[in-house]
């Protein structure tokens, strides 16, 4: 690392809902990263709580190409700010870094990761002294520091390393009775197949369940592959066909298996039930709420994003629990976790957090709660989900993404829809309009359509929930035709 003064010249940096990401070598370069790391470190130190004496900043990285080298460079930038970098000794999940912030009472964390983005991407996530993602006010302050300029000299030196992964796993072990979960899974007759999608959560569940009988826990796609098998490490059905096929073969052989899949940095999760059906957090969240309240009697309110399915609300209301609905983005959920007692909070894209843990998504923690629910409920996942459908009504959910040629084209449609609200959607009268994030049309009980425009891409996300698959598909088709006709 050169000791040449590094000028904080203006950089075209734009933070998204959780950090800054871009194509490695094009948008995300060392030249751009170092000023961002410096500005972020300075802001973490500036905003530290008055009773926090630490000068440490946790630095973590995932399994992506050059992530470890970028993390080493960030350590030099942190030292240049007069602060103390504490670097993980191996690739780790992002939640492990959030756990480390709390465990070490650090100023925060800088994590080199592009999460679920395609293999050619890399990025930076910033965690506050509370362990959660920083808010938009923080990232705006970082951008202002970059615009203001300044000179900082990176400082070479020996960086202290620590066993971040081990600390996180030990923390998880302390919160669950894993031997009891193992006994319950054996009694149900269920094996578990883990797909970490070549990401930094690889091997974690196997290590947590190291005392399980042979074959109870099995992992696929665990080796390090910076190309992630040719797909983005995102827990969507279209990217996990191998896991789905393995689960189906296992079912046909008479030994049911449950599939669990994590994204590239281990903060998002999805499941594949014993019949090979993909289960997003839209279906997992209601089950987790039912377990945590109905079986564990845990206190706290429930938080969901506006794009989350209504079954979460129905289950929460059944137990007379408050349900809070927020814009899309886990940072909004994290804020509620910091300011009040929250049982569970989740978003449609796969992130779930728990008030008893950290104010951040954690796929490993979520998987343990899910396995505990199956173990203690003495039913397979598909049976638990069917039971919820019987109790609260059938719900079908899906999302489609529509891409525009330019940002201007997207902006024109967004303005038009905001000013021309339809009275009918797919032949159904609109009963209510919600504008917490995008435009959501309430058509009936358990039936709605939502348009949400990306703030940084020429993209429209169209969500719908309906009481039947036929209604769901026809509503999404109606929305697609409307968009194309405008």
Stretches in the chain below the pLDDT threshold 70? 1-12, 455-456
Residues 193 and 327 in one domain: yes
CATH number for position 416: 3.30.310.50
Q: What is the structure's pLDDT at 5?
A: 52
Which has the closest alpha carbon to 153: 33, 38, 6?
6
Domain boundary among 165, 197, 227: 165
Residues 258 and 194 in one domain: yes
Residues 107 and 205 in one domain: no
Number of structural domains (the chain) is 3
Cα separation, 456 vs 139, in Å, equals 15
Range of the domain at 468: 396-485
Residues 258 and 282 in one domain: yes
**CA-to-CA dists, residue 369 to 4, 284, 345, angstroms:** 50, 10, 13
pTM comes to 0.92
Residues 198 and 322 in one domain: yes
DSSP assignment of 15-52 equals -BTTBEEEEBTTTB-HHHHHHHHHHHHHHHHHT--TT-
pLDDT digits (tens, 9 = 90+) for 118-142: 999 999 999 999 999 998 899 999 9
* Residue 30 buriedness (CB in 10 A; 0-12 / 13-18 / 19+): middle
Residues 431 and 361 in one domain: no
Q: Is residue 1, in this structure, part of any structural domain at all?
A: no
Which has the closest alpha carbon to 272: 378, 385, 132, 184?
385
Q: What percent of the chain has pLDDT over 70?
A: 97
The token duo for 17 is 């809902």
* 278 close to 350: Cβ distance less than 8 angstroms: no
Residue 434 phi/psi, 5° resolution? -120, 130
Domain boundary among 136, 165, 194: 165
* 119 close to 228: Cβ distance less than 8 angstroms: yes
Residues 142 and 216 in one domain: no
Q: Is residue 435, in this structure, part of any structural domain at all?
A: yes
DSSP assignment of 406-472 equals SHHHHHHHHHHHHHS--SEETTEEP-EEE-SSSEEEEEETTEEEEEEE-SSSSEEEEEEEESSHHHH
Q: What is the structure's pLDDT at 456?
A: 62
pLDDT digits (tens, 9 = 90+) for 144-186: 999 888 777 788 889 999 999 999 999 999 999 999 999 999 9
Domain boundary among 130, 165, 200: 165
End-to-end CA distance of the chain: 53
* 310 close to 289: Cβ distance less than 8 angstroms: no
């Amino acid at each position: 690392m050169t000791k040449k003064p590094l000028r904080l010249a203006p950089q075209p940096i734009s933070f998204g809902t959780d950090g800054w990401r871009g194509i490695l070598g094009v948008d995300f370069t060392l030249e751009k990263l170092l000023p961002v790391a410096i500005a972020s470190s300075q802001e973490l130190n500036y905003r530290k709580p008055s009773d926090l004496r630490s000068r440490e900043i946790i630095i973590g990285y995932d399994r992506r190409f050059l992530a470890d080298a970028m993390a080493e460079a960030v350590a030099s930038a942190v030292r240049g700010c007069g602060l103390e970098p504490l670097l993980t000794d191996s690739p780790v999940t992002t939640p492990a870094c959030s756990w480390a912030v709390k465990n070490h009472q650090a100023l925060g964390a800088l994590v080199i990761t592009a999460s679920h983005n395609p293999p050619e991407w890399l990025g930076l996530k910033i965690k506050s002294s509370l362990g959660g993602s920083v808010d938009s006010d923080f990232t705006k302050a970082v951008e202002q520091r970059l615009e203001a300029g300044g000179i900082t000299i990176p400082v070479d030196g020996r960086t202290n390393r620590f066993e971040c992964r081990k600390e996180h796993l030990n923390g998880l072990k302390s919160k669950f009775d894993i031997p009891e979960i193992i006994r319950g899974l054996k009694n149900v007759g269920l094996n578990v197949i883990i797909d970490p999608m070549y990401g930094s959560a690889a091997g974690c569940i196997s290590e947590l369940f190291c005392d399980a009988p042979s074959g109870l826990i099995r992992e696929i796609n665990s080796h390090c592959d910076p190309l992630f098998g040719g797909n983005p490490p995102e827990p969507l059905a279209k990217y996990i066909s191998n896991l789905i096929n393995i689960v189906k073969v296992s079912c046909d052989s008479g030994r049911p298996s449950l599939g669990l899949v994590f994204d590239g940095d281990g903060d998002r999760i999805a499941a594949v039930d014993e019949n090979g059906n993909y289960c997003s957090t839209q279906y997992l969240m209601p089950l987790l709420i039912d377990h945590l309240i109905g079986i564990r009697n845990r206190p706290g309110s429930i938080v969901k994003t506006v794009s989350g399915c209504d079954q979460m609300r129905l289950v929460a209301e059944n137990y007379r629990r408050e349900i809070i609905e927020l814009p899309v983005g886990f940072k909004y959920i994290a804020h509620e976790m910091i300011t009040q007692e929250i049982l569970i909070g989740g978003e449609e894209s796969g992130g779930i957090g728990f008030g008893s843990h950290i104010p951040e998504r954690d796929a490993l923690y979520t998987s343990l709660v899910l396995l505990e629910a199956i173990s203690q409920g003495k039913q397979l996942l598909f049976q638990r989900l069917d039971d919820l459908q019987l109790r609260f009504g059938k719900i079908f959910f899906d999302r489609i993404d529509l891409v525009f040629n330019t940002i201007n084209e997207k902006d024109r449609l967004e303005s038009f829809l905001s000013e021309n609200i339809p009275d009918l959607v797919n032949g159904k009268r609109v009963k209510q309009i919600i504008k917490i994030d995008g435009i959501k049309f309430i058509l009936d009980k358990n039936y709605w359509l939502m348009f949400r425009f990306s703030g940084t891409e020429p993209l429209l996300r169209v969500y719908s929930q309906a009481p039947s698959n036929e209604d769901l598909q026809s509503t999404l088709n109606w929305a697609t035709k409307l968009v194309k006709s405008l």
